[in-house]
Amino acid sequence: MLDVPDLDTANRCAVVTRKGGAREVIAWQTATTRLLPRMLAGRKSGPLFLTDRKARPSVATNDIDPGTGRARLSYRRAAELFEAHTAGYTGGPYTLHQLRHSRLIKPRRTARRPRC
């Protein structure tokens, strides 16, 4: 899970919650830093990745963006979207698992540890 308040845009990193509640620091590259403001669209709270529609009444409150009423994007739906959008690339379609191991910079692999 990744929520907007978890982002440290100044240091290009975030603390993410993994399976079982473990927390880990991730960092991103310059291109992501440029795209984040467009994705956030001024939001200061709620889930980072949202669905296209309003949430159903059964969705947990912490999985809903308070400003738009849209729900947190599920892993399944994110995987479907990512594979559909990478199908035209050489070697595609790619999976989220492949993405995770491609360009994501983890602090233990970098010479300079992000301050997050």
d(CA 8, CA 14): 6
Higher confidence at residue 100 or residue 37? 37
d(CA 28, CA 104): 6
* Predicted structure pTM score: 0.75
d(CA 61, CA 43): 16
Burial label for 108, CB within 10 Å (0-12, 13-18, 19+), is exposed
Mean pLDDT, rounded, of the chain: 86
Asked whether the predicted pLDDT for residue 16 surpasses 70, the reply is yes
Asked whether the predicted pLDDT for residue 39 surpasses 70, the reply is yes
Asked whether the predicted pLDDT for residue 104 surpasses 70, the reply is no
- Per-residue pLDDT, averaged over 42-67, amounts to 93
- The pair phi, psi for residue 115, each rounded to 5°, is -90, 90
Q: What percent of the chain has pLDDT over 70?
A: 89
